[in-house]
Chains A and B, each alone.
Chain A
Amino acid sequence: MSAHANLERRRQAIYGWLLLSPAAVLLTLFAFYPSVATLWSSVFSRGTRRKPTEFVGTENYADLFADPTFWIVVKNNILYAGVTIPVSIFIALSMALWANGKIRARGFVRTAYFTPTVLPMIAAANLWLFFYTPGLGVLDQIGSLFGLPSVNWLGQPETALWAIIIVTIWKEAGFFMIFYLAALQTIPEDLKEAADIEGTSRWTYTRRIVLPLLMPTTLFIAVNAMINSVKLIDHLFILTKGGPSDASKLILYYIWEMAFAFFDAPSAAAMTIMVIAVLGIVATIQFFYLDKRTHYQ
């Protein structure tokens, strides 16, 4: 009997590793090895024809910290995250409350909110280009009705990043809405009835009952929005290319530019390591804080 159990255990171990191996190979090739290789190349100098690469320790990082563009990009990305995360969460929540309520044309409203989610960021950027173009764009046309002067939204440092931020919010709010919608549908009807009997105002009901019950969803969305604030940069390629004078440049775009336009792989690697560190912190927060609240099976 024990020999049989032993055999079964060995069989499971062999099968387990066999079934895992294809995924393990690809994960190693495209996640684990590249992570280590990035760390490795971030501590070596950039090789040239005359000078081979050599170990430089933290020099690439020091160079990066001394690079004013790096700080502009970091500041931009913090502003980008700081605005897009709360605003898209707020809009998503309003959308969900409306789309869940008894309003007219609910089907149309839901579809309209969700539609940007299925569009590629590149297409979204093209659509918004029509809004932002100076002189011809829709925003300027509307402005001119009120006698406002033409504004080059994408071409001036004060507004370029904001124009980018608006496109991002437009793109992701509808996506976050559906998570709120699902959560709202799990709130029992009796709570609303009880609140009505007590004569609670709608605002109090929303603030004291609905919002606390939506807290786990909000955290889940916040983590997603944080990841998006690193990831969503495609529209920069169409709208501003990070300009004017780096005013709308974000970290991932800068990494791309470093690596594929300036061919400075060590700096790109150092920056990548920092991004991974930040994402790791987010992951840890989620692991210890969120997991307790969201229910896995």
Chain B
Amino acid sequence: MKSLTKFMDSFGAILLAIIWIAPLLFAFWAATHSTSDAVNLNLFSPWTFENFRVAWAGAPWLKYFMNTFMLVTVILIGQFVLTTLAGFAFAQLQFPGKDYVFILVLMQLFILPEVLIVENYAMISRLGLFDTILGVGMPYMASAFGIFLMRQSFKGVPVELHEAARIEGCGLLGILWRVYVPLAKPTYLAYALVSVSTHWNNFLWPLIVTNSPATRPLTVGLSIFGAPENGVDISIISAATLMSVAPLLIAFLIFQRQFVQAFLRAGIK
């Protein structure tokens, strides 16, 4: 009886797992076979990499990759600087008005940037940042979530270390840089993984703010490439899709444990 339930558990779990990655597996199948073989699910048909070649030639993918890479880098640097400074101020400094400002920052957690697309678009145009990578990244840099995360992490630093550094003659920014930042390394790593995978995958805002292949990230490029009016078939779309997810997917498979830990650390706060 016991071994039967155990078997059923394994069976159910594995069945669900297979269902869950089936879309990826089918895409892989479609991408490596000719369109007619792919749709007929002809198991013994020959493999081909022709679809990847056609897909690669069909759009400036290298540029898209570079744009996405630039975008996530710009956002990450901005976030690190801004959330470190603000998080430290909230965690370790006493100044009038702090609590009110902190509540204002927390409010931003629920006013999602996605919801404010219209006015943010107007703001970006006013700043002359339309169709620039900086324009895509800017609204995400002062992340309330990041500030909160950093504040939590800095609060956990023992006062003794702070005092010791001060007695040694370290200024406030020196203390932040030499004591707090090194101790928060795991939080930075976690935040970086979450940030990079979020912005690598972001679509709606880049779609609105970019208008040329010179700035367009992968997601927007992929959606344009696959648009029905371009008439590309399912095998080629699958190949393009796999190409564009490959870097993040491979990174995930290698650093799986860190990824999961990162999401947990970032989510549970």
Main secondary structure of the interface of B (DSSP, over half): helix
Q: B185 in the interface, Cβ–Cβ < 8 Å?
A: no
A115–B82 touching, CB < 8 Å: no
Q: Is the CB of B223 within 8 A of A238?
A: yes
Contact residue among B18, B138, B234, B259 (Cβ-Cβ distance under 8 Å from A129): B234
Q: How far is the CB of B80 from chain A (nearest CB, A)?
A: 12
A250 to B209, CA, bound (A): 21
The answer to the question of A199 belonging to the interface, with a C-beta cut-off of 8 Å to chain B, is no
User: Is A127 in contact with B197, judged by CB distance below 8 angstroms?
Assistant: no
Q: Is the CB of B263 within 8 A of A297?
A: no
Contacts of B53 in A (CB 8 A): none
In the assembled complex, the Cα of A212 lies from the Cα of B31 at a distance in Å of 46
Query: Residue A23 contacts which of B16, B85, B96, B139 (CB distance < 8 angstroms)?
Result: B85
Q: A138–B26 contact, CB under 8 A?
A: yes
Q: Tell me the smallest distance from the CB of A281 to a CB of chain B, in Å.
A: 10
Contact A129 B264 (CB under 8 A): no
In the bound complex, residues from chain B placing their C-beta under 8 Å from that of A233 are: 204
Size range of the chain B interface in the assembly? 35 or more
Q: What are 13 sample pairs from A and B whose C-beta atoms fall under 8 A apart? A: A19-B89, A19-B93, A108-B17, A114-B259, A115-B24, A120-B222, A123-B219, A123-B245, A127-B23, A127-B27, A179-B264, A231-B112, A268-B118
Q: Mark B103-137, 1 if CB is under 8 A from A, else 0.
A: 01101111111111111111100010000000000
Task: Assess the A237–B112 pair: CB atoms within 8 A.
Answer: no
**Known: A15-B172, A109-B14, A202-B5. Contact between A118 and B259, CB under 8 A?**
yes
In the complex, which residues of chain A have a beta carbon less than 8 angstroms from the beta carbon of B23?
A: 124, 127-128, 130-131, 170
Q: A133 — which chain B residues lie within 8 A by C-beta?
A: 234
A90 interface residue (CB < 8 Å to B): no
Report yes or no: B155 in contact with A120, Cβ–Cβ below 8 A: no
B20 x A31 contact (CB < 8 A): no
Given A30-B120, A120-B201, A130-B27, answer yes or no on A297-B17 (Cβ-Cβ < 8 Å).
no
Give bound CA distance, A35 to B117, whole Å.
10
A119 with B201: CB separation less than 8 A: yes
Q: When the two chains form their complex, are residues A136 and B39 in contact, meaning their CB atoms are under 8 A apart?
A: yes
Q: Interface code B181-225, partner A: CB below 8 Å = 1, 0 otherwise? A: 000000000000000010011111001100000000011001100
Quick check: B252 and A34 within 8 Å, CB to CB?
Answer: no
Report B76-87 CB contacts with A as 1/0, cut-off 8 Å: 000001110110
Residue of A nearest to B40 (CB): A141
Which of B18, B122, B127, B203 contacts A121 (CB under 8 A)? B203
Cα distance, A99 to B12, chains bound together (Å): 11
**Within the complex, which residue of A112, A238, A259 is in contact with B17, where a contact is CB–CB below 8 Å?**
A112
In the bound assembly, the distance between CA atoms of A12 and B113 in angstroms comes to 31
Q: Select B237's contact among A109, A126, A131, beta carbons within 8 Å.
A: A126
A-side contacts of B218, CB under 8 Å? 120
With beta carbons under 8 angstroms apart, the residue of B208, B222, B249 that contacts A126 is B222
- Name the distance in Å between B212's Cβ and chain A's nearest Cβ: 17
Known contacts being A15-B172, A130-B23, is A112 close to B104, with CB within 8 Å? Answer: no
Residue of B nearest to A99 (CB): B13
Q: Is B95 a contact of A12 with CB atoms below 8 Å? A: yes
Shortest Cβ distance from B20 into A: residue:
A112
Q: Is A296 an interface residue (CB 8 A)?
A: yes
**Residues of the A chain whose Cβ atoms lie less than 8 Å from the Cβ of B62:** none
B98 within 8 A of A: yes
What size tier do the contact residues of chain A reach?
A: 35 or more
List the B side residues contacting A234 at CB < 8 Å.
203-204, 219
* Complex Cα spacing A275 to B90, Å: 29
What residues make up the interface of B, taking CB atoms closer than 8 Å to A? 5-6, 9-10, 12-14, 16-18, 20-21, 23-24, 26-27, 30, 39, 41, 81-83, 85-86, 88-90, 93-96, 98, 101, 104-105, 107-123, 127, 138-139, 141-142, 144, 147, 152, 155-156, 172, 197, 200-204, 207-208, 218-219, 222-223, 226, 234, 237-238, 240-241, 244-245, 248-249, 252-253, 256, 259-260, 263-264, 267-269
Chain A contacts of B101 at CB under 8 A?
20, 24
In the bound complex, residues from chain A placing their C-beta under 8 Å from that of B253 are: 111
- Residue A22 interfacial (CB < 8 Å): yes
A126-B237, A141-B41 known; A120 vs B200 contact (CB < 8 Å): yes
When A and B form their complex, which 10 residue pairs have the shortest distance between CB atoms, in order from nearest? A34-B119, A16-B95, A26-B142, A120-B201, A112-B17, A98-B13, A23-B86, A13-B95, A30-B139, A127-B23
Q: Is A256 an interface residue (CB 8 A)?
A: yes
What residue of chain A has the Cβ atom nearest to residue B9's Cβ? Answer: A103
Tell me which residues from 217 to 267 in chain A have a Cβ below 8 Å from any Cβ of chain B.
220, 224, 227, 230-231, 233-234, 237-238, 252, 255-256, 259-260, 265
Q: Which of B20, B81, B118, B248 contacts A174 (CB 8 A)?
A: B20
Report A-chain residues with C-beta under 8 Å of the C-beta of B5. Answer: 202
Given A27-B104, A108-B17, A123-B219, 15 more contacts at CB 8 Å?
A29-B123, A29-B127, A30-B113, A104-B10, A105-B10, A105-B14, A115-B24, A120-B201, A120-B203, A127-B241, A131-B23, A175-B263, A179-B264, A231-B114, A255-B115
